[in-house]
Amino acid sequence: MSIIELGEVRDEPESPPSARRPRAADRRLRAGAVLLLALVVLAAAAPLPRRAMTSVPTAPGASAYLTEAGVVVVDATTPSGDRYLSAYALPTANDESAVRRRWRTPLARTGDYLAVWARRGLLLAVGTSSTNGTLETTAFDAGTGRQLWRHPGVARWTADGGLLLLDDMTEGSAAVRKVTPDTGAVQWTVSVPVAGSPELHGPPDRVDQLVLVQPTGEVQVYDAGSGRLLRGVDTLAGARSAFQRVQVVGDLVLLVPPGSTGLVAYGLPGLDPVWTSPVPLVSWATTCGELVCAVQQTGGVQAVDPATGTVRWADPGPDMLVDIRGDRLLVTGPDQRYAVRDAATGQERTELGEWQMVGQVRPGDELLGVRTAGSDLVVAALDLGTGEARILDVLPDVAGGCQAALPVLLCRRVDGSTGLWRLSR
């Protein structure tokens, strides 16, 4: 959820009413009526054109990953025989009959890969080490498949074009490293305390600052380009040592102090104290339009003003925050139905129905939801602004496991194979 705009401070009641979730029966009746109307309209309209499907060569147990440049297939682990990582070009709009293999490169027989993405001439594959089970990133030349380097951690791009590698916090070896993208040469290293979790400031592909909290209570800000310590502030009185959690939201550093009794905000980059808010048991936080949404460990959301820490609205209900688009929030409840809420008030705007969200290669792309209808898969664009689920296609013999780099959709078929479709938007 990959940005915070400071909203103006408005006069609000001292105890704003909680956003109330409509009764489940009412929600089901409304959703059923909407679905019935949609089916009637679809039945009366001309049938949707059947999309051309392009098959992606995948051996049993292999994993396919969609990137902006094509499809990457990682063979399953094997006790014997060969194992490869293969890259395929996307089919063109004029020829969707087949994908063309661009290259393949051998892989070690063991070690699982969890994510693959392409950017700036590199193919970055995140997997688990076959020796100690920690996360590591392997870089390949996106044009040839040649392996360039391997380092512990998960990679993020910096504002100056480098790569930060965030170790997955294994005891005694946690660190953040900056490396040169094409060689993997380490430019600098910052140690991370045990059970620490580094936080980053800036867009996902332009990180400019790194924030750490030490067990002694010192919050530290480092320059992501040079690794230089910019500022450090002690947040624990006396010679204490305690676990604290920190998160960067927009230009604020949010600290959950010992006991999780509230939320303390500091400004970046100088770590000037901004406010303290009595929001307890915060699990994580993110921007919600012009507010900051604090998601609590016990469930529920409290939205605070980023300038003052004042709670603007609260919802103690079980809904889980899924995505934010402008001034609209996408939430889902225990019944797996999705609804749209107003970010400024927390009030529900509309219900979208029951869907499974599709993973996006580009986070800002249109939200997609899918659901099964027998052996078919219904694909819809979820528009939070209008509150509509617009049917894009009904794909035959598709099981799920979809990824999107619009207009291209990759899914697993019921026979275990992998297919590509070009959606009409």
Residue 87: predicted pLDDT: 97
As a 3-state breakdown, the chain gives helix, strand, coil percent values, each rounded to 5, of 5, 50, 45
Here the tokens at position 98 are 């087949």
Q: Structural domain boundaries of the chain?
A: 1-47+278-353
**Stretch (H or E) spanning 34:** helix 24-44
pLDDT at 393: 94
Query: Is residue 334 reached through a cis peptide bond, with omega within 30 degrees of 0 on the bond before it?
Result: no
- Per the CB < 8 A criterion, the answer to whether 392 and 400 are in contact is no
Give the pLDDT of residue 49.
Answer: 53
CATH, domain 1-47+278-353, list 3.30.540.10, 1.10.287.1120, 2.40.10.480, 1.10.150.120: 2.40.10.480
State pTM to two decimals: 0.82
276-297 tens-digit pLDDT? 999 999 999 999 999 999 999 9
Residues lower than pLDDT 50 in the chain:
1-46
**Which residue is listed with tokens 């780099």?**
405
Which pLDDT belongs to residue 50? 57
- The confidence score (pLDDT) of residue 243 equals 81
Rg (Cα) of the chain, in Å, rounded?
24
Strand partners, 31: none
Residue 313's pLDDT is 97
Tokens of 79: 């006790």
Q: How many residues does the chain have?
A: 425
- Where does residue 161 fall: left (phi above 0), alpha (psi -120 to 50 degrees), or beta otherwise? left
pLDDT at 39: 38
